[in-house]
């Protein structure tokens, strides 16, 4: 059995305003997408309503990265 890639494990919560449920997304999904679909109802969720650059930097550091080199964005963009 292979070890899951820590960057791709779907453990980060993304709340949905449409249905009130929380979707589970990976760091990579949160980082590369501006919007993601709710796992429950399919409504498009603006990622930066919940995760800005500071939050993604903190996650990247917790995963062992010494710097966040992906794109820069502000919460609410």
**What does the pLDDT look like over 13-47, one tens digit per residue?**
999 999 999 999 999 999 999 999 999 999 999 99
pLDDT at 50 over 70: yes
Q: Is the pTM of this model over 0.85?
A: no
CB proximity list for 62: less than 8 A, separation 6 or greater: none
- Residue-level pLDDT at 69: 59
Q: How many domains does the chain have?
A: 1
Q: In which domain, by residue range, is 33 found?
A: 12-62
CB proximity list for 3: less than 8 A, separation 6 or greater: none
Asked if residue 36 belongs to a domain, the reply is yes
Asked if residue 35 belongs to a domain, the reply is yes
């Amino acid at each position: 059995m292979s070890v899951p890639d820590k960057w791709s494990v779907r453990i980060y919560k993304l709340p949905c305003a449409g249905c009130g449920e929380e979707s589970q997304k990976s760091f990579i999904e949160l980082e590369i997408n501006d919007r993601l679909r709710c796992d429950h109802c399919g409504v498009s969720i603006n990622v930066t309503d919940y995760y800005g650059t500071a939050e993604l930097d903190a996650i990247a550091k917790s995963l062992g990265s010494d710097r966040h080199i992906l794109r820069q964005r502000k919460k609410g963009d």
